[in-house]
């Protein structure tokens, strides 16, 4: 699963994050941040544009089905280098995917003092394979039922110039952890 714990960079808060949130409050915060941001974006157009670009590049490389399963945790942090003076929400996880193998995921974005994403999607992340090759992803859509759509837009190593997409089905747990599974296509 591409538990896209890539680096979603948006905004951050000058106030410190409360350490006394209950598990339920943490789960609601992470779910709220994702779904509130998704509600503000035109997903149909983004999905159509992605499909058109993928079809235009069909002859370039081989397109393969990618299946992913990921799990990880979400947490807020103070980050003076990326989101200052705001806070950053980080998704980190590990997973396994066809054509990528075991991988680590990091995704983050900046939020304001109220916990709202500072910028609308896309949010960016990185999947790093065990050998160091990376796939770069961005969130391009979703629904309020737990499904998120990610686009692959480049990478390193064998994934230089990679393109594709994956549809991931997320479950958020009360302790701030999450899991996902999904399938898509990757051209490289």
Reduce the DSSP state of residue 146 to 3 states and report it: coil
Residue 77: per-residue pLDDT? 83
- Higher-confidence residue of 1 and 115: namely 115
DSSP string over 19-54 = S---HHHHHHHHHHHHHHHHHTS-HHHHHHHHHHHH
pLDDT digits (tens, 9 = 90+) for 109-152: 888 888 888 876 668 899 999 999 999 999 888 888 889 999 99
| pLDDT at residue number 184 | 96
Check residues 13 and 165 and name the one with the higher pLDDT. Answer: 165
The domain ranges of the chain are: 23-187
pLDDT at 61 over 80: no
Interval 40-65 mean pLDDT: 61
Residue 171's pLDDT band, with cuts at 50, 70 and 90, is: very high
The set of residues, in sequence order, having a beta carbon less than 8 Å from that of 174 and lying 6+ positions away, is 23, 24, 26, 27
pTM: 0.68
* Model confidence pLDDT, tens digit, residues 96-117: 999 999 999 999 888 888 888 8
83 has a pLDDT exceeding 50: yes
As to burial, measured by CB atoms within 10 angstroms (0-12 exposed, 13-18 middle, 19+ buried), residue 62 is exposed
């Amino acid at each position: 699963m591409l538990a896209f714990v890539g680096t979603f960079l948006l905004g951050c808060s000058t106030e410190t994050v409360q350490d006394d949130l209950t598990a339920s409050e943490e789960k609601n915060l992470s779910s709220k941040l994702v779904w509130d941001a998704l509600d503000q974006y035109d997903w149909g157009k983004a999905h159509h544009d992605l499909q058109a670009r993928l079809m235009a590049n069909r002859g370039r490389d081989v397109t393969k089905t990618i299946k992913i399963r990921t799990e990880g945790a979400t947490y807020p942090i103070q980050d003076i280098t990326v989101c200052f003076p705001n806070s950053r929400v980080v998704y980190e996880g590990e997973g396994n995917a066809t054509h990528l193998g075991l991988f680590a995921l990091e995704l983050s974005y900046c939020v304001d003092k109220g916990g709202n994403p500072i910028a609308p999607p896309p949010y960016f992340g990185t999947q790093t394979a065990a050998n160091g090759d990376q796939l770069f992803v961005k969130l391009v859509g979703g629904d309020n039922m737990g499904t998120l759509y990610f686009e692959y837009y480049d990478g390193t190593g064998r994934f230089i110039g990679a393109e594709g997409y994956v549809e991931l089905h997320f479950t958020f747990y009360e302790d701030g952890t999450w899991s996902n599974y999904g399938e898509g296509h990757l051209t490289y």
